[in-house]
Structure 1
Amino acid sequence: MVSEVSWTEVDESRSARWRAESGAPAPKRVVLADDRITADAAYRLASEGTALLWRGDFQNARQLLQAIARRIDRKPRKAAASPIEAFNFHRQAKSQRARTLGMLLVPLEADFSIPLRRALNVKEACAEAYGEGEVPSVVSLRELLGVIGSHEWRKTGVDVPALGDRIHPHYGVFSPVRGEYVGLVAEAPLPSSKLAFDIGTGTGVLAAVLAKRGVKHVIATDQDPRALACARQNIARLGLKGRVDVVEADLFPQGRAPLIVCNPPWLPARANSPIERAIYDPESRMLLGFLNGLAAHLEPGGEGWLILSDLAEHLGLRSREALLAAFDAAGLNVVGRLDTKPTHPRASDAADPLHAARAAEVTSLWRLTARNL
């Protein structure tokens, strides 16, 4: 169902299509705003749930968004008594921050042009994210800036040292910026070079690494249309189209393989937006789905590689005992494990509210075999 946002302008009721890839509902209260509004007034209205439809200079709107963000970030953090409480406070604060910043809106014409002074040309970026424009619409400036940033990442790509090349993520598809987990897949001893399954391929980066390592045929699966399109484009650009097949599937494709790889979302919590589904796995559904189906899809003597961070353990969201019990319940044995420490900036950022957990984090590649095979 197409949602609309409504407002009053020149004593007339007006409306337009509401765009929100995060799934945020259209704001109920919308007022017009332009260069005359102060950052304090804009922050107060946004905090109260009143959206501001911008009619002024586009670059001034970007500056106003930054000013609102600074006011949000000045608010003191809640003191947490435990890691899981710190995690919950952190998510609440992020969610509230996103809601408040999402109250600054900009209009888009049917061709994705922005009818504001000094506006950027965002037609190509919006077409990549949204498809055909069709009708005028309204979007939060915060989301639009994310669309623009994603377009730049898609053009330039992300350098993946383990691949010796670049991966080009699409809008809404999680980027492989944390290279340590890719490095594990590049280093682990291959049980076979005949066939591999890559479950939940995303950008296709792990399927590409396996093919570059000499696996003759890789079947990469995903359910998300954006991920499927992204993986196919990356595989084609890397010249691996004849060796990697990207197929739509709920976890496993048909058949068995001597190697099955999966890098599921690492944190068992609810995702607040589509892009967060690459990070949060409610009730560990994908993790348990992979583990419980692995034995039935492994060839005799084959291995399943589970790439998983232990951040959830340090946050109190999952215990190591629960993970090992899930292996056992699925009829799996652990035959080896490769570990690495994350190198991303937040791991060493003492100001991060989850710093203690991030500093202790280890990412592992668990080598699993089916029991009695």
Structure 2
Amino acid sequence: MTTSATITLPEDDGPRVVLWRSEAAVPPPKRVTIADDRLTADAAYRLACEGTALLYRGDFQNARQLLQAMTRRVERNPRKAATSLKEAFNFHRQAQSQRARVLGMVLIPLEGDYTIPLRRAPEVREACAETYGAVTGEASVVSLRELLGLIGAHEWRKKGVEIPVLADRIHPHYGVFSPVRGEYVDLVARTPLPTLEKAFDIGTGTGVLAAVLAKRGVKKIVATDSDPRALACATENLKRMGYDAQVKVVQADLFPEGRAPLVICNPPWVPARPASPIEYAVFDPDSRMLLGFLNGLAAHLSPGGEGWLILSDFAEHLGLRTRESLLAAIDQAGLKLVGREDIKPRHPKSTDANDPLHAARAKEVTSLWRLQAR
């Protein structure tokens, strides 16, 4: 996902062109100035708001403190008053975009071996290699905000996410949606299985739902994804848990070849445009994956088989999708509803009254829709 653009740095001996790294596909800043430990947070914030990036050449820990101080200044900006949840969502997305743009202006240099040539810099070579690939020897520049995200993702990958129904941990890779919201996993773990013979897991991500099916005794599972990182992540997780004999991970845009008596899919829940490639795990523009799954399901179900659609109604509360449009899409795909399992979310934002979208989150229900071909 990293862009292959370059950025021009102001050096004492003349401009220097190096590789620009951005997993969010953000274009390189056009204006760059050198910053060090003498720069105040107010001055840094003002320059960032004006579109000038700050290439840090001082102490790394001071750069982190500067970013934290700039974050506090961003958060002081008052929220726009919204007249509806849909408008609140749009304002929230605008604020997130502005926040990312401003805070992304603090830049950190990387040597060709992924070391950081700053005082008190952490060891990041392994984290960078996991995200950017093998060392090429090219010097580069990355935003401090992205670099801290890489470090955090590397720690999550090592530590893993505890999945109680598996009695094991899933280790998410950078850019692959982490199963921190466990309610959808619980739905797949508790809903009666129509078969133990075969299943398809569409958009497997970390492989967590394929692992749940395997643990429940499904003999043969084909797990698909179109993202190379997700494929590598799922393959690694399933092999480590000992399910690689039951689960075959394949690259596909939605469905693999053939039919199965059980086909499951947990598409992104919000039909909105992602602001970056990484957000495709959360946002489904024009409901592409949702409609693709529904419209292709009947052709990939064995006679009498079930399709399991795992979907939150969060988008409905935001006014981004209606229940009527979902039911119409199911009907138009030649499908019928034979059952539904519901569960309330348990994540911290569902009870955070200060969250700008709290009114929608408080009403949210995640459902497993059991569908059959008509």
Classify the TM-score, shorter chain. Answer: over 0.9
Cα deviation for residue 7 of structure 1 reads 2.1
Which residue, 108, 117, 120 being the options, matches 1:118?
120
Aligned residues: 371
1:118-137 counterparts in 2 under 5 A? 118-134=120-136, 135-137=138-140
Deviations 1:251-270 (A, max 9, x none): 00000000000000000000
1:66 maps onto 2:68 in alignment: yes
> Matched residue of 1:94: which SS?
helix
CA distance in 2, matches of 1:214, 1:8: 60
CA distance in 2, matches of 1:219, 1:66: 44
1:304 maps onto 2:332 in alignment: no
Partner of 1:336: 339
Deviations 1:90-110 (A, max 9, x none): 000001100111000000001
Deviations 1:307-355 (A, max 9, x none): 0000000000000000000000001100000000000000000000000
CA distance in 1, matches of 2:231, 2:108: 30
1:167 maps onto 2:170 in alignment: yes
> Matched residue of 2:179: which SS?
coil
Partner of 2:201: 198
Partner of 1:146: 149
> Matched residue of 1:169: which SS?
coil
Q: Which moved more, 1:9-18 or 1:62-71?
A: 9-18
Which residue, 266, 270, 279 being the options, matches 2:273?
270
Matched to 1:139, the amino acid is V
CA distance in 2, matches of 1:228, 1:269: 24
Matched to 1:33, the amino acid is A
CA distance in 1, matches of 2:349, 2:97: 19
Partner of 2:95: 93
Identity across matched positions, percent: 72
Q: Which runs of 5+ in 2 are unaligned?
A: none
Which residue, 237, 240, 262 being the options, matches 1:237?
240
Which residue, 222, 227, 231 being the options, matches 2:225?
222
Matched to 1:138, the amino acid is V
> Matched residue of 2:17: which SS?
strand
Q: CA RMSD in A?
A: 0.7
CA distance in 2, matches of 1:247, 1:256: 15
Which residue, 293, 300, 308 being the options, matches 1:290?
293
**TM-score, L = length of structure 1:** 0.99
**TM-score, L = length of structure 2:** 0.98
> Matched residue of 2:24: which SS?
coil
> Matched residue of 2:362: which SS?
helix
Cα deviation for residue 176 of structure 1 reads 0.2
Cα deviation for residue 133 of structure 1 reads 2.8
**Structure 1: 4+ residue segments shifted above 3 A:** none
CA distance in 2, matches of 1:269, 1:333: 26
Partner of 1:251: 254
